[in-house]
Chain A
């Protein structure tokens, strides 16, 4: 089985299996209260080094959105491209996250729509590892 690696070091909790237990990681500044994604030595907002590591929740809502209608430039694979929705997702903790929306029709997306984190294989790296990438999908009523 292919080895699994995160899309960027320090962004996801470990281990990467089982995937349903994996979450996005961040830091919260004890001086100014700002939250950032991933690991940092200094607060991105106020430069303080008085930080605490946090694990981010799965849910949030769409802050704004659009559609990628034209293939992004290489190295994005050109031949398999299909239009997909993207959004700034506002997590319940207040962190904004740029994300592809999956399991979601292009005309279904609305500002304020509730969404949840999904993790899965994004692409393969040069060593043949499975790169684990985040996306968000709509939380539909009744689910």
Chain B
């Protein structure tokens, strides 16, 4: 266990739209906060990984670092679509485990335009764009409809996910939307792709989040409230993937990537879904929370809708999901969102989540799922 990475510092730049700020500045703010949290200076960082979806320009890692002054430490930029932050954290974790570094920084930064993502960002080919078969929400709408028909999941249950996450978002000063919504408001908002409505979706936006990892020995110098990175798994989706970017598939019986990454993470951590105090997952849309809670094995297949309608996933419920409001409230700065989840879970495990604190939080899980089949599952414990 001596090779476990310890989280000694976390920082965040509020998720939202910040036209006056460059991507580097967003990243710098998150790093300053994480360095303060860890009582260290940038010169204490020995290696750095930066996650961005590549919508801005390459080389963002060094550019953020140089704002603190020229450095000669190795810095590598990582891209894994909506799972980029998780992939980046895994790189940092491996750098610690490998033994060469005592302190490693994982930083996620994103700046994005409003509205649907440009076709190339999600990996579409030109003919898909010309055929109009390149709107990400259509895939999620079709998944939602299939889930409703197969398992009796209701549109009200899907809407309740959005209501819950917006309610939690009110308590999170770093969320883009800090506004409660009624079920009626969610269900009657503009239809994006039927059966899903506007207030059931997350919006791409800007933001940054930073996590500083240490090995166990070095961690003692920087924190007296260590949070252990128990496992961080990254997998890609097997065939078929009836999701973003794809246009064909075949029933193979393969498990979906979220389940594969979760099984990896549970096994490496020696922790099962029954041990979790809270979960952050990829609520790209409200139905995704229901489907992913099943794929993360938090409940049986088809019972995800009941988790929300029975109040299990509410703040104060048996297994709160997205206590920070999820990306439905925070918005999704693609390369930074996974580290934003880690930020929330670390706060919770340290008992510092204020009005949204989960009682006796001991173990938390973070899940992201992105284009091209990427998914990461991270488990943190006290």
**A residues in contact (CB < 8 Å) with B:** 7-8, 32, 34-38, 44-45, 63-73, 75-76, 81, 84, 86-88, 94-100, 111, 122-123, 131, 133
A87 to B127, CA, bound (A): 17
Which residues of chain A have C-beta atoms less than 8 A from B192's C-beta?
A: 69-70
Pairwise interchain contact B132-A98, C-beta atoms closer than 8 A: no
The answer to whether residues A73 and B250 also contact, given A66-B141, A66-B194 and a CB cut-off of 8 A, is no
The answer to whether residues A63 and B146 also contact, given A97-B248, A122-B131 and a CB cut-off of 8 A, is yes
Q: Which 7 A-B pairs have the closest CB atoms?
A: A66-B141, A37-B248, A64-B142, A96-B249, A64-B146, A98-B247, A45-B239
The answer to whether residues A87 and B142 also contact, given A68-B135, A69-B191, A98-B133 and a CB cut-off of 8 A, is yes
Which residues of chain B have C-beta atoms less than 8 A from A72's C-beta?
A: 116, 129, 132-135
Chain B: CB-nearest residue to A106? B194
Which residues of chain B have C-beta atoms less than 8 A from A38's C-beta?
A: 248
Pairwise interchain contact B116-A35, C-beta atoms closer than 8 A: no
Pairwise interchain contact A131-B127, C-beta atoms closer than 8 A: yes
A81 to B143, CA, bound (A): 24
The answer to whether residues A75 and B130 also contact, given A88-B242, A95-B250 and a CB cut-off of 8 A, is yes
Chain B: CB-nearest residue to A134? B131
Which residues of chain B have C-beta atoms less than 8 A from A84's C-beta?
A: 132
CB contacts under 8 Å to A, within B322-359, are none
A63 to B193, CA, bound (A): 16
Pairwise interchain contact B248-A73, C-beta atoms closer than 8 A: no
Chain B nearest CB, measured from A122 CB (Å): 6
Chain A nearest CB, measured from B120 CB (Å): 10
A7 to B240, CA, bound (A): 22
Pairwise interchain contact A67-B194, C-beta atoms closer than 8 A: yes
- Encode contact with A along B233-273: 1 for CB under 8 Å, 0 otherwise: 00000111010001111111010000000000000000000
